Amino acid sequence: MQKKLLLAAPLVALVLFLFNDTALADQIEVASRVEAVTLHLDAALVRRIGEFSVPAGDSTLVLRSVSPKLLQQSVRVKGAGDNEAIIGAVTVRPSTGTGVESEAAKKLAKLLDEKQMLTDRIEASETKKRAIQNFAKASADAKEPRAVDLPAAWVAVTPGLDEADDRIRDLRRQRRMIDGDIEKARQAVQLDPLSAPGYDVFVEITAHGPAKGKIALEYLVHNAKWAPVYDARLNFEMTPKGRLTLVRRAEAAQRVGEVWENIRLTLKTTEAVGAVAAPRLSTLEASPGFPGEADMPSRKPPDDLVRLESEKDSSIRFQEASMNHSRSAFDASFEVPGLVSLPANGATKVYRLAQFESDANVFVKSTPEHDTSAYLHAKFSNTDSTPLFFGPVQLYRDGSFVGRGTFKHVPSKETAELGFGSDDSVSVRRIEQPTKSFTPKKEKALAWEERQSATEIRNGHAFPIRVRIEDRVPVSTDAALKIEQQPDSTPPTERNVDDRQGVVAWDYNLAPGETRRISFGYRATWPRWKGEFQSWDRR
Ordered DSSP codes for 193-239: GGGS--EEEEEEEEESS-EEEEEEEEEEESSEEEEEEEEEEEEE-SS
Handedness of CA 267, 269, 270, 271 (dihedral sign): positive
Rounded CA-CA distance 6/78 in Å is 6
Residues 86, 213 contacting (CB under 8 angstroms):
no
Q: Given 3-state DSSP classes, what are the helix, strand and coil percentages for the chain, each rounded to the nearest 5?
A: 20, 45, 35
Rounded CA-CA distance 370/429 in Å is 12
User: Do 492 and 431 share a structural domain?
Assistant: yes
Domain assignment of residue 49, given as a range: 4-99+197-222
User: Do 115 and 75 share a structural domain?
Assistant: no
Look at residue 470 in the predicted model and tell me its pLDDT.
94
Rounded CA-CA distance 44/266 in Å is 10
513: left (phi over 0), alpha (psi -120 to 50) or beta: left
Rounded CA-CA distance 70/48 in Å is 12
Rounded CA-CA distance 524/485 in Å is 9
User: Do 418 and 336 share a structural domain?
Assistant: yes
Residue 539 in domain: no
User: Do 267 and 179 share a structural domain?
Assistant: no
User: Do 474 and 371 share a structural domain?
Assistant: no
Q: What is the dihedral of CA 154, 157, 159, 160, to 10 degrees?
A: -170
Residue 134 in domain: yes
Look at residue 7 in the predicted model and tell me its pLDDT.
41
SS3 148: coil
Rounded CA-CA distance 30/28 in Å is 6
User: Do 414 and 441 share a structural domain?
Assistant: no
User: Do 217 and 229 share a structural domain?
Assistant: no
Look at residue 417 in the predicted model and tell me its pLDDT.
94
Residue 320 in domain: no
Cα 206 to Cα 53, 211, 453, distances in angstroms: 12, 10, 85
Query: Distance between alpha carbon 197 and the CA centroid of its chain, in Å?
Result: 26
Taking the complete model, does pTM exceed 0.85, yes or no?
Answer: no
Residues 398, 238 contacting (CB under 8 angstroms):
no
Pairing of strands 316-320, 284-288: antiparallel
User: Do 459 and 445 share a structural domain?
Assistant: yes
Say how many C-beta atoms besides its own lie within 10 A of residue 149's C-beta: 11
Q: Which residues contact 446 (CB under 8 A, 6 or more apart)?
A: 440, 525, 526, 527, 528
DSSP 425: T
* Residue (of 189, 23, 180) closest to 106 by Cα position: 189
Residues 477, 447 contacting (CB under 8 angstroms):
no
Residue 277 in domain: no
Look at residues 400, 422, 444 and tell me which one is the last residue of a structural domain.
422
Look at residues 422, 457, 485 and tell me which one is the last residue of a structural domain.
422
Look at residue 446 in the predicted model and tell me its pLDDT.
87
Q: Write b or e for each residue in 282-309: b if 16 or more Cβ atoms lie within 10 A of its Cβ, otherwise e.
A: eeeeeeeeeeeeeeeeeeebeeeeeeeb
User: Do 122 and 164 share a structural domain?
Assistant: yes
Look at residue 265 in the predicted model and tell me its pLDDT.
93
Length of the chain: 539
DSSP 434: P
User: Do 73 and 213 share a structural domain?
Assistant: yes
SS3 491: coil
Residue 299 in domain: no
Residues 228, 350 contacting (CB under 8 angstroms):
no
Rounded CA-CA distance 268/41 in Å is 7
Rounded CA-CA distance 309/479 in Å is 9
Look at residue 14 in the predicted model and tell me its pLDDT.
34
Residues 428, 368 contacting (CB under 8 angstroms):
yes
Residue 289 in domain: no
Look at residue 320 in the predicted model and tell me its pLDDT.
30
SS3 176: helix
- Which residues of the chain are under the pLDDT cut of 70? 1-25, 97-103, 135-157, 189-196, 237-240, 274-276, 283-331, 538-539
User: Do 374 and 356 share a structural domain?
Assistant: yes
Rounded CA-CA distance 55/27 in Å is 11
Look at residue 37 in the predicted model and tell me its pLDDT.
95
Q: Which residues contact 155 (CB under 8 A, 6 or more apart)?
A: none
How many distinct structural domains can be found in the chain?
Answer: 4
SS3 433: coil
Query: Distance between alpha carbon 39 and the CA centroid of its chain, in Å?
Result: 13
Residue 494 in domain: yes
Look at residue 272 in the predicted model and tell me its pLDDT.
81
Look at residues 368, 389, 422 and tell me which one is the last residue of a structural domain.
422
Rounded CA-CA distance 491/521 in Å is 11
User: Do 450 and 386 share a structural domain?
Assistant: no
Q: Please give the radius of gyration of the chain, using alpha carbons only, rounded to the nearest integer.
A: 39
Residue 293 in domain: no
Q: What is the dihedral of CA 314, 319, 325, 328, to 10 degrees?
A: 0
